[in-house]
Amino acid sequence: MRVVLPNPGLDLRILSHEDLERMEKEEAADRPKWDNKAQYILTCVGFCIGLGNVWRFPYLCQSHGGGAFLIPYLILLLVEGMPLLLLEFAIGQRLRKGSVGVWRAINPYLTGVGEQKSRKCISGLVPTALEFVPECQRSTTVDYYFYRVTLNSSTSIADSGGLQWPIVLCLLAAWTIVCICCIRGINTSGKAVYVTAILPYIVLAIFLIRGLTLKGSLSGIKFLFTPDVNELIKPTTWLDAGAQVFYSFGLAWGGLISFSSYNPVHNNCVQDAVILSAITGLTSIYAATVTYSIIGFRATEKYDTCISENIMTLLNAFHLPEDSITTSNYDTALNHLNSSSPDIILGLDIKTCDMQKLLSEGVEGTGLAFIVFTEAITKMPGSPVWSVLFFIMLLCLGLSTLFGNVEGVVVPLKDLNVFPKKWPHEALTGVTCAVAFIITLLFAQHSGIYWVSLFDNFAGSVPLLTTGLFEMIAVVYIYGIDRFNKDIKFMVGHKPSIFWQISWRFTSPLIVLVILVFYLVSQAQQELTYLVWDPDSDQFPSLASVPYPSWISAIIFLLAGVPSLAVPLYALWRLVTVSCRKKYNADVWSWQMFMLKMIHSKRKKH
């Protein structure tokens, strides 16, 4: 028995298979097309493979026992990510519309699904000439340069501190590049992805080869692929893995639906979903391997420095010859001195040098990219070259992801007729990028790094999960799973296998719902805090954890609550307006009938 909700007028809102065949033969479709299949795949790869694969995925591996995180990630990639990916590919290719147009065609009450959009931007880093000598002496060079020189960070998200103009210029340059690359839609961005999607793989390969030659790199890679099985029984490990799947695929952003709508009608979207899933999963592991080779080198450098400082402390305290204690006999010498002179040892500042602790020190997001990785690069021979390569790679990752985000905004704006129809695509893209630049000036303030963290934590979590859940419900129970199966058979030549059927109907929606509920419960139980760079803090030079101001709850609701409620709110608004319109039309008709009767009765009297 199939459960399908009533959906009157669906056949009138979508093209039939015969119409699609005719349009394909006549090339009468008004939508642009990809030059070739490679361009389409590279664009999807560039959109999916972003900064989250380079700095978020390795951080989650560190936080959840290295290789233990890979197991739930790969499992959920198959049963959660790949089915939803195929769903977006297939529905976009079938209905030939963008993210808003697709859901409005399925049912006008679902227009809110496509209206949930958000954007993230990446800006370069330019130094400013500021001097805070005591602060510099108490922190590391890289930390100081990033937080004080580059960002000139304030000590609170409430203290904006005004705009950091070098960052504003970098932000302007970034959005200008995006605008130029997207100015004519896929006709220009499709060419740019040959560079932005391929170059990061080349740079990662160079870094992997270089990283493997560094001392301690294998320690980092071994830590990555050695699972801590105790992490597998923790719900947070599975929750983070499920959320990371959404980040890795770029699901529920709207870009993939728009991209697939430019494909030929009979493109094999099932094969595309499998290929992209494999590329995404392998790229995450590939990028993590590169990152951990560098993290292993950095941890080894810190470990060797710790041992050397302890040796120097022991030599000075006991007036020993310079070569009497070396790294090879350090443990033996320390144990001997501790047993013979425990009082002296207790009075010394002997640091605990733990390699595993250094490897498992999790640093997320910008901290991993601009501090940990950068600190390791500065210690490599020829560091300027590696720095240029690394930041070009980050720029390409950010650009290729933004191509999909801009496409996921411009196409819905056209579908909703927000701008006059006579406006060319170039004008729409220019206005969209200009507005995005103005909005993202929020991140160019002295408190901008805290806003980036806030957006990263809340704008891309609950809204994406709820949108993904609504997408599956809409296709399976409103559009109709039988109709969807026939569409896929029409497009690729065969009906989807039992794996896809079970995933769409039960497995994937259930997994997304569980992740969403547990995420909301865990967030409700935690105090909302964020990390700040505060030289007056007792924790300095470490970042201090402080609670968010009370008003930040309203911002979080705007970021996460409003987009998540877009679907039910729009459906309610449409229900009210349609009901009112029907009532108004009924009243007008009744009044007209009343007037006709009055006129008719007067004529009879005369």
Percent of the chain beyond pLDDT 90?
Answer: 25
Number of helical (H) and strand (E) elements in the chain, helices listed first? 33, 2
Same domain, 506 and 571: no
DSSP structural state of residue 532: E
Q: Is the pLDDT of residue 381 over 90?
A: no
Size of the chain, expressed as the number of residues it contains: 606
Residue 499 above 90 pLDDT? yes
Question: Which pLDDT value is given to residue 310?
Answer: 87
In this predicted structure, the answer to whether residue 412 has a pLDDT above a threshold of 70 is: yes
Q: Is residue 233 located within the same domain as residue 278?
A: yes
Residue 24's nearest CA partner among 92, 96, 86, 91 is 96
Instruction: Count the Cβ atoms, other than its own, within 10 Å of residue 243.
Output: 21
599 part of a folded domain: yes
What average pLDDT does range 521-535 have in this prediction? 84
- pLDDT category at 336 given cuts 50, 70, 90 is confident
Q: What is the mean pLDDT of residues 213-230?
A: 87
Query: Collapsing DSSP states into helix, strand and coil, what is residue 68?
Result: helix
Three-point CA angle 136, 141, 142, nearest 5°: 125
Q: Is a pLDDT exceeding 60 seen at residue 125?
A: no
Average pLDDT, the chain: 83
Q: Residue 536, exposed/middle/buried by CB under 10 A (0-12, 13-18, 19+)? A: exposed
Q: Determine, yes or no, domain membership for 475.
A: yes
Q: Which pLDDT score is estimated for 138?
A: 62
Q: What is the pLDDT of residue 498?
A: 94
8 A C-beta contact, residue 78 and residue 511: no
Q: Give the mean model confidence (pLDDT) for residues 144-155.
A: 86
Of 127, 125, 150, 156, nearest to 535 by C-alpha is: 156
The answer to the question of residue 49 being in a domain is yes
Give me the CATH number covering residue 445.
1.10.4160
The model carries a pTM of 0.83
pLDDT of residue 126: 31
Q: Average of pLDDT values for 335-357?
A: 83
What is the reported pLDDT for 481? Answer: 92
* CA separation for the pair 232, 69 (Å, rounded): 8
Choose the weakest-confidence range: 80-89, 212-221, 242-251. 242-251
Question: Is 2 among the domain residues?
Answer: no
pLDDT one-digit tens code per residue, 165-177: 999 999 999 999 9
Q: Which of 199, 290, 245, 285 is nearest to 48 (CA)?
A: 245
Number of domains the chain is built from: 2
Q: How far apart are CA 248 and CA 67, in angstroms?
A: 17
Residue type, 170: C
Residue 421 lies inside a defined structural domain of this protein: yes
Residue 98: φ, ψ to 5°: -80, -170
Q: Is the pLDDT of residue 123 over 60?
A: no
252 domain-assigned: yes
Containing 320, the helix (H) or strand (E) segment is none
Q: Residue 366: pLDDT above 60?
A: yes
Question: Mean of the pLDDT values across residues 8-18?
Answer: 83
pLDDT(128) > 60: no
Q: What is the pLDDT of residue 114?
A: 54
218 pLDDT higher than 80 = yes
Burial class of residue 510 in the structure, from the number of CB atoms within 10 Å of its CB (0-12 exposed, 13-18 middle, 19+ buried): middle
Q: Is 332 helix (H, G, I), strand (E, B) or coil?
A: helix
Cβ–Cβ contacts within 10 Å for residue 444, how many?
Answer: 23
pLDDT at 441: 93
Q: pLDDT tens for residues 555-579?
A: 988 888 887 887 777 777 877 777 7
Q: Looking at the domain assignment, is residue 3 inside a domain? A: no
CA 301 to chain centre: 31
Residues 398-407 have a mean pLDDT of 87
> At 43, is the pLDDT very low, low, confident or very high (cuts 50, 70, 90)?
very high
Residues 90-103 have a mean pLDDT of: 86
| Residue 540 Rama label (left phi>0; alpha psi -120 to 50; beta) | beta
Between CA 560 and CA 138 the distance in angstroms is: 38
CA proximity to 118, closest of 228, 250, 26: 250
Residue stretches of the annotated binding site for Na(+): 46, 53, 248, 397
| Backbone angles phi and psi of 544, in degrees to 5 | -90, 135
**Rounded Cα–Cα distance for residues 564 and 113 (Å):** 9
Is residue 5 in a domain?
no
Query: For the residues 238-245, what does the mean pLDDT come to?
Result: 85
Q: Is the pLDDT of residue 1 over 60?
A: no
Does the structure show a pLDDT above 60 at 159?
yes
Q: Binding-site residues, please? A: 46, 53, 248, 397
Q: CA 510 to CA 449: how far, in whole Å? A: 35
Q: Which amino acid is at 521?
A: V
Cβ neighbours, 10 Å, residue 199? 18
Q: Judge if 35 and 102 occupy the same domain.
A: yes
- What's the 3-state SS for 274-314? HHHHHHHHHHHHHHHHHHHHHHHHHHHHHHHHHHHHHHHHH
At residue 28, does pLDDT exceed 60?
no
Residue 261 near residue 412 (C-beta atoms within 8 A): no
Report residue 164: phi and psi, to 5°.
Answer: -95, 100
Same domain for 470 and 553? yes
Alpha-carbon gap, residue 312 to 349, rounded angstroms: 11
Task: Give the H or E element holding residue 529.
Answer: strand 529-532
Residue 436, phi then psi, degrees to nearest 5? -60, -40
Q: Are residues 148 and 221 in the same domain?
A: yes
Give the separation between CA 141 and CA 133, rounded to whole angstroms.
11
CA distance 178 to 408: 14
Using CB atoms within 10 Å of the CB of residue 234, give its burial: 0 to 12 exposed, 13 to 18 middle, 19+ buried. middle
Residues 599 and 471 in one domain: no
Rounded distance between C-alpha atoms, residue 538 and residue 240, angstroms: 31
Residue 603, pLDDT score: 62
Per-residue confidence (pLDDT) for residue 361, from 0 to 100 = 66
| Of 535 and 481, the one with more pLDDT | 481
Same domain, 492 and 588: no
Pairwise CA distance, residues 101 & 571, whole Å: 15
More confident site: 594 or 15: 15
**Residues 556, 585 within the same domain:** no
For residue 338, give the nearest of 348, 329, 328 by alpha carbon.
348
Choose the weakest-confidence range: 92-96, 178-182, 308-312, 590-594.
590-594
Tell me the one-letter amino acid at 137: Q
151 shares its domain with 84: yes
β-pairing, 529-532 with 544-547?
Answer: antiparallel
Six-digit token string for 104: 């409005």
* Statement to judge: residues 305 and 330 lie in one domain: yes
Identity of residue 545: S
SS3 call for 461: coil
91 vs 23 pLDDT, higher one: 91
Q: Which residues make Cβ contacts (< 8 Å) with residue 176, sequence separation at least 6? A: 433
Q: How many CB atoms lie under 10 A from the CB of residue 467?
A: 27
Instruction: Based on the fold, state whether residues 602 and 475 are members of the same structural domain.
Output: no
Q: Provide the pLDDT for residue 600.
A: 67
For the chain, the distance separating the N- and C-terminal CA atoms, rounded to the nearest angstrom, is 65
What does the alpha-carbon distance between residue 208 and residue 203 come to, in Å, rounded to a whole number? 9
Q: Which residue segment(s) compose the domain that 597 sits in?
A: 565-606
- Dump pLDDT digits (tens) for 437-472: 999 999 999 999 899 888 877 877 788 888 888 889
Give the pair of three-digit tokens for residue 525. 């139980």
Listed residue (105, 92, 94) closest to 19, CA to CA: 94
Q: Please tell me whether residues 560 and 580 are part of one structural domain.
A: no
